[in-house]
């Protein structure tokens, strides 16, 4: 199975603050760092560090930013054959990280919203039925990629983040995996508890394999036959910015390599736990070797 991530690339400007800004408030940041990010980029790095040869497709915009993303993806072990550049400004994010390691994020799409149907077709022509395509909600061509990848018989994994009302208009019945957090699953399903999530997905999308990340309460896996819980791990939280992306990358890497669901969930949870103990987005993603060698205690519920 070949894995393609058709995803976003953002420059992340991360500001350390005591507390998040309120409406009308002006305050000084305690520090600023710049990282390469974007949910697509983060997940490609996590997939590659988890041991999967992933191809990243997307638009990084101006030549200087594109060169930086290309170098970073290559260093992580990803293939950049389908990474394009152009005249548009690179997408970017303004991220506040507070004293508790929590974050709030403002995104400007930039070049991520300059992907044409012809671009999509040229990339998908290099993949075949049974290959996996990974998607998030930070590029403009998501609906078309789902339709076209499904027509070609590819397996489709979708992380509907950042969540908005366009998600409801997407052909979710054509997905293979859906990976989302607790806020997103509540918005999508209208349910407020684990039992409700399980029931809603089995009634509405019985073919889907669903993973819901529940923060400190771990993660939940749902399919038509089983519902599995996996706990989170006890770590010192420094920055939660890319925890969901690291989890997604490691879980999908496990599935692409044929690992059992329980093992994929364990590796993804440990990887996410390690990532929140470090600063940065993609930079916080561990390698598979680190995950296998690091001993973490399960967080008591």
- Token pair 């070797």 is found at 289
Count of other CB atoms within 10 angstroms of residue 290: 13
Q: From CA 61, how far away is CA 215, in angstroms rounded?
A: 33
- In a domain, residue 99? The reply is yes
Task: Compute CA distances 137 → 22, 143, 205, whole Å.
Answer: 27, 10, 19
Q: Residue 288: give the domain boundaries.
A: 3-22+29-293
Asked whether 39 and 117 are in contact (CB, 8 A), the reply is no
- In a domain, residue 242? The reply is yes
CATH no. for residue 139?
3.40.1190.20
- In a domain, residue 213? The reply is yes
Q: How many domains would you assign to the chain?
A: 1
- In a domain, residue 270? The reply is yes
- In a domain, residue 250? The reply is yes
Could you tell me the strand order of the sheet in which 91-97 lies?
A: 31-37, 10-16, 91-97, 103-108
- In a domain, residue 300? The reply is no
Per-residue pLDDT of the chain (301 residues; tens, 9 = 90+): 999 999 999 998 999 999 999 999 999 999 998 889 999 999 999 999 999 999 999 999 999 999 999 999 999 999 999 999 989 999 998 999 999 888 898 989 999 999 999 999 999 999 999 999 999 999 999 999 999 999 999 999 999 999 999 999 999 999 999 999 999 999 999 999 999 999 999 999 999 999 999 988 999 999 999 999 999 999 999 888 789 999 999 999 999 999 999 999 999 999 999 999 988 778 889 999 999 999 898 886 6
- In a domain, residue 301? The reply is no
Give the distance, in angstroms, between the CA of residue 133 and the centroid of all CA atoms in the same chain.
13
What is the value of pTM for the model shown?
0.92
- In a domain, residue 276? The reply is yes
How many residues does the structure list for the chain?
A: 301
**Two tokens, residue 116:** 């044409």
């Amino acid at each position: 199975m070949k894995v393609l991530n058709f995803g976003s690339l953002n420059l992340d400007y991360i500001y350390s603050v005591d507390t998040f800004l309120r409406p009308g408030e002006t305050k000084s940041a305690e520090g600023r760092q710049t990282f390469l990010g974007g949910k697509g980029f983060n997940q490609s790095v996590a997939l590659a560090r988890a041991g999967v040869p992933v191809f990243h497709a997307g638009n990084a915009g101006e030549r200087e930013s594109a060169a930086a993303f290309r170098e970073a993806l290559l260093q992580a072990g990803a293939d950049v054959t389908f990474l394009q550049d152009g005249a548009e400004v690179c997408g970017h994010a303004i991220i506040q990280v507070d004293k508790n390691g929590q974050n709030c994020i403002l995104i400007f799409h930039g070049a991520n919203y300059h992907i044409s149907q012809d671009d999509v077709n040229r990339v998908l022509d290099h993949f075949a039925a049974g290959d996996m395509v990974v998607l998030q909600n930070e590029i403009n061509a998501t609906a078309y990629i789902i339709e076209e990848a499904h027509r070609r018989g590819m397996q489709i994994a979708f992380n509907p983040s950042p969540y908005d009302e366009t998600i409801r208009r997407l052909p979710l019945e054509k997905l293979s995996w859906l990976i989302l957090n607790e806020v997103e699953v509540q918005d999508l399903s209208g349910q407020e508890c684990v039992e409700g999530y399980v029931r809603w997905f089995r009634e509405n999308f019985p073919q889907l394999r669903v993973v819901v990340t529940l923060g400190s309460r771990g993660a939940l896996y749902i399919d038509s036959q089983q519902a599995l819980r996996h706990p989170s791990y006890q770590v010192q939280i420094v920055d939660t910015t890319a925890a969901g992306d690291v989890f997604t990358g490691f879980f999908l890497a496990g599935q692409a390599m044929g690992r059992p669901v329980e093992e994929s969930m364990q590796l993804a949870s440990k990887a996410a736990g390690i990532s929140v103990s470090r600063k940065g987005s993609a930079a916080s993603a561990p390698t598979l070797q680190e995950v296998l060698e690091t001993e973490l205690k399960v967080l008591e519920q």
